[in-house]
Amino acid sequence: MFEFGGTKNLPLILTVEYINIVAERLPGLVEAMCRNEHFQWMSGDKVFRMNSIGSYRIASLTLDKNWISLKLPELRHLLNIYFMITNQLIMYTETLGYVQAYVNAAMASDNYVEPAPTAS
């Protein structure tokens, strides 16, 4: 999941499905906004929407009742770094099984190792 700042300081948390949708649709949204054209996309379940707002080059990403508006320069920056976000998500998803196995082993362990006094 990825978190954007949302309305009333509530985050807009996107699942993997919606992150992939943003990855697919973001270039088209930025292109349309650069040409001052209207862009609108809605998921099949009508829960997630992306659209441009008026002629002020602002876009809105809406998930349920939470939304965030981004200006064109912010969208361009997001487009430039989005590959890092998706790559980080892939790496997190791949390592999740290892972390879970470690947690399970630690929970089942009855060994205790005294931490050093300088450990944090």
Q: Which phi and psi (to 5°) does residue 108 adopt?
A: -85, -10
- Residue 51: pLDDT band (50, 70, 90) is very high
Helices and strands, counts by H and E, the chain: 2, 6
State the Cα–Cα distance between residues 9 and 23, nearest whole angstrom: 24
Stated pTM of the model? 0.68
Could you give the percent of the chain with pLDDT greater than 70? 91
- Residue 80: pLDDT band (50, 70, 90) is very high
**HSE on the CB side for 42, CA within 13 Å?**
5
Q: CA-based Rg of the chain, rounded to a whole angstrom?
A: 20
Boundaries of every domain in the chain = 2-82
